[in-house]
């Protein structure tokens, strides 16, 4: 059997709350909906970090942001970390990336330089797109198209947008790959949309001019008993609370990027070999005013962290399957390696979802972990250092906000996440179990921010959580498929793997 190929598609700022296949048909996303109908949909997939660069860093390396160096916008991947393109390239795959990268530590648009592991002919980051525009067009794109009327007045066509040109290059790659049918490939297609500035043909935004998105009870969350940084966040972007989100530019761009994804899916069906997987996800969500806050950042609300994850298998196997097992960005690279029949290095921090995709039993007790540090280093415009570590397990979420109030939510009884149960005696047992599991994960994953402060919480009566009786943690054992085995400082011999 030939090695399978992969088309990895991602968007920016698109949680499950704005996709038809996740219960919002009014969003007009027929192509992603079709992908879900033909593939396997994870109902509860979560970002590793609700911020662009850290989320992407985890997706492409298989290591949490706190480990891979890119733990905030404005930092690059650490030099010792190998990304998806390099791994597959080194196994004989043809690899290409087109679209937003945001992992070079430069600015929002990138450097224009294709990183090692990807084919330069198809590289099209924001810098390369800007270089095709005149100075006037650059200003128009970034600042001048803020309403549906402006889109109409300037006669914006799909062909002018970054999204469309990203799709063009993806289709060009698929056409070239079809001429080498015996060589497998990995194609990554990364859209900036529906992230602002929401550039799309006017007809998409005009569909939503009169549309009011119902936010439900979360629209009126007063944030009582919740972290101060969320109240500050809400106050900084205060708007009238009507119970609805009105944003035709975002919703229109959300529908437009779906159309561009549809172009790529159609090209896969037309040009790619039979053994091709399509993997679709996004980096994080958009609060839209739920809980009185907008954009993304240090919160564990569903609108912020519950991202789509859909895998279409070759031959449409298991079409229409929906899974409730929790999944994470950190699982994507191990899953792709496993599906390709390639080794999954022990150092990768996620787990392959391959067994689930092959029909294996679900795991209702599987946890996922989410983190946050700060918004951005160069500009640092949103709130400074806001360290958070969180665990999601079943219906419960525990977030430790190191410098603020901690949070515990029970989505089975409180689906809108209005009640912080962190001090509720009825939840003390589940809270403490999640806390212990979260601390254990910090030590297993060699979190450089770990330490007793995460354990010494006001609601925790006993500090009994330290790893193996001492808070410094185990020495790291390392097998990432590339680096030599790490040696113990005191013995010069390989480190033992961490217990558990």
Alpha carbon distances (Å) from 363 to 324, 334, 355: 8, 18, 11
What pLDDT is recorded for position 487?
81
What pLDDT is recorded for position 245?
97
Half-sphere exposure of 169 (CA within 13 A, CB side): 25
Tokens linked to 110: 């990138």
In the block, tokens 């939510």 appear at 409
Task: List beta partners, residue 398.
Answer: 391, 408
pLDDT digits (tens, 9 = 90+) for 118-136: 999 999 999 999 999 999 9
Q: Which residues contact residue 38 at a Cβ distance below 8 angstroms, ignoring those fewer than 6 apart?
A: 312, 316, 319, 320
What pLDDT is recorded for position 484?
85
Do residues 56 and 62 lie in contact, with contact meaning Cβ atoms separated by under 8 Å?
no
Give yes or no for residue 24 having a pLDDT over 60. Answer: yes
Binned at pLDDT 50, 70 and 90, residue 107 comes out as very high
Q: Which residues contact residue 492 at a Cβ distance below 8 angstroms, ignoring those fewer than 6 apart?
A: none
Give yes or no for residue 258 having a pLDDT over 70. Answer: yes
What pLDDT is recorded for position 378?
64
pLDDT digits (tens, 9 = 90+) for 169-228: 999 999 999 999 999 999 999 999 999 999 999 999 999 999 999 999 999 999 999 999
Give yes or no for residue 497 having a pLDDT over 80. Answer: no
Span 295-307, average pLDDT: 96
What share of the chain in percent tops pLDDT 90? 86
Do residues 133 and 205 lie in contact, with contact meaning Cβ atoms separated by under 8 Å?
no
Give yes or no for residue 316 having a pLDDT over 80. Answer: yes
What pLDDT is recorded for position 125?
98
Give yes or no for residue 495 having a pLDDT over 90. Answer: no
Give yes or no for residue 383 having a pLDDT over 90. Answer: no
Span 37-47, average pLDDT: 98
- Using DSSP bridges, classify how beta strands 45-46 and 94-99 pair: parallel, antiparallel or unpaired: unpaired
- Using DSSP bridges, classify how beta strands 321-323 and 396-401 pair: parallel, antiparallel or unpaired: unpaired
Binned at pLDDT 50, 70 and 90, residue 238 comes out as confident
In the block, tokens 């038809």 appear at 20
Q: Which residues contact residue 141 at a Cβ distance below 8 angstroms, ignoring those fewer than 6 apart?
A: 133, 197, 199
Catalytic residues: 52, 102
pLDDT digits (tens, 9 = 90+) for 207-220: 999 999 999 999 99
**Which architecture does CATH list for 5-361?**
3-Layer(aba) Sandwich (3.40)
Residue 472 has a CB neighbour count (10 Å cut-off) of: 11
Q: Could you tell me which of 44, 382, 414, 386 has the C-alpha nearest to residue 221? A: 414
What pLDDT is recorded for position 467?
54
Which letter, b or e, does each residue of 302-322 get, where b requires 16 or more Cβ atoms within 10 Å of its Cβ?
bbbbbbbbbbbbeeeebeebe
Do residues 191 and 163 lie in contact, with contact meaning Cβ atoms separated by under 8 Å?
yes
- Using DSSP bridges, classify how beta strands 368-372 and 388-393 pair: parallel, antiparallel or unpaired: antiparallel
Gap between the Cα atoms of 467 and 440, Å rounded:
7
- Using DSSP bridges, classify how beta strands 213-214 and 244-245 pair: parallel, antiparallel or unpaired: antiparallel
Binned at pLDDT 50, 70 and 90, residue 236 comes out as confident
Domains 5-361 and 369-469 fall in the same CATH topology: no
Q: Which is higher by pLDDT, 345 or 490?
A: 345
What pLDDT is recorded for position 471?
54
What are the sequence ranges of the domains in the chain? 5-361, 369-469
What pLDDT is recorded for position 444?
86
Overall fold of domain 369-469: Arylsulfatase, C-terminal domain (3.30.1120)
Give yes or no for residue 379 having a pLDDT over 70. Answer: no
Q: Which residues contact residue 367 at a Cβ distance below 8 angstroms, ignoring those fewer than 6 apart?
A: 326, 391, 392, 393, 437, 441
What pLDDT is recorded for position 237?
81
Binned at pLDDT 50, 70 and 90, residue 496 comes out as low
> Helix crossing, 52-61 with 332-339: angle to 10°?
30
Give yes or no for residue 406 having a pLDDT over 90. Answer: yes
What pLDDT is recorded for position 380?
56
């Amino acid at each position: 059997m030939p090695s399978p190929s992969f088309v990895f598609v991602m968007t920016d700022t698109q949680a499950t709350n704005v996709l038809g296949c996740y219960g919002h048909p009014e969003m007009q996303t027929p192509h992603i909906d079709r992908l879900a109908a033909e593939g396997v949909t994870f109902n509860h997939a979560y970002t590793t970090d609700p911020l662009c660069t850290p989320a992407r860093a985890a997706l492409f390396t298989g290591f949490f942001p706190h480990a891979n160096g890119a733990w905030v916008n404005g930092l690059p991947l650490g030099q010792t970390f190998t990304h998806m393109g390099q791994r597959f390239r080194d196994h004989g795959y043809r690899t290409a990336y087109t679209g937003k990268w945001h992992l070079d530590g430069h600015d929002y648009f990138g450097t224009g330089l294709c990183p090692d592991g990807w084919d330069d002919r198809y590289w099209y980051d924001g810098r390369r797109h800007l270089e095709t525009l005149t100075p006037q067009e650059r200003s128009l794109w970034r600042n001048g198209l803020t309403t549906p009327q402006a889109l109409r007045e300037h006669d914006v066509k799909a062909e002018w947008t970054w999204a469309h040109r990203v799709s063009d290059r993806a289709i060009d790659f698929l056409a070239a790959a079809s001429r080498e049918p015996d060589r497998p490939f990995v194609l990554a297609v990364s859209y900036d949309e529906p992230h602002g500035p929401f550039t799309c043909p006017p007809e998409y935004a005009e569909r939503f001019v009169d549309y009011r998105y119902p936010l439900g009870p979360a629209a009126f969350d007063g944030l009582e008993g919740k972290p101060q940084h969320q109240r500050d966040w809400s106050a900084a972007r205060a708007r009238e609370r009507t119970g609805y989100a009105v944003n035709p530019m975002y919703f229109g761009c959300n529908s437009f990027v779906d159309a561009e994804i549809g172009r790529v899916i159609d090209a896969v069906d037309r040009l790619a070999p039979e053994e091709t997987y399509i993997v679709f996800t996004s980096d994080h969500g958009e609060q839209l005013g739920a809980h009185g806050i907008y954009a993304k950042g240090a919160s564990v609300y569903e609108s912020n962290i519950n991202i789509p994850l859909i895998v279409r298998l070759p031959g449409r196997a298991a079409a229409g399957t929906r899974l409730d097992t929790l999944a994470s960005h950190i699982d994507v690279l191990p899953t792709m390696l496993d599906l390709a029949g390639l080794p999954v290095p022990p150092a990768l921090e996620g787990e392959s979802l391959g067994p689930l995709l092959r029909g294996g039993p679900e795991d209702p007790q599987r946890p996922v972990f989410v983190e946050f540090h700060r918004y951005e280093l160069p500009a640092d415009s949103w709130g400074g250092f806001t360290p958070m570590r969180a665990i999601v397990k079943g219906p419960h979420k525990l977030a430790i906000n190191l410098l603020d109030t901690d949070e515990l939510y029970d989505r089975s009884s409180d689906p809108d996440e209005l009640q912080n149960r962190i001090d509720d005696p009825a939840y003390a047992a589940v809270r403490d179990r999640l806390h212990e599991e979260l601390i254990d994960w910090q030590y297993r994953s060699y979190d450089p921010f770990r330490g007793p402060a995460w354990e010494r919480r006001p609601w925790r009566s006993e500090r009994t959580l330290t790893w193996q009786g001492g808070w410094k943690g185990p020495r790291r054992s390392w097998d990432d498929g590339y680096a030599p085995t790490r040696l113990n400082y005191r013995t010069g011999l390989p480190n033992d793997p961490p217990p558990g």
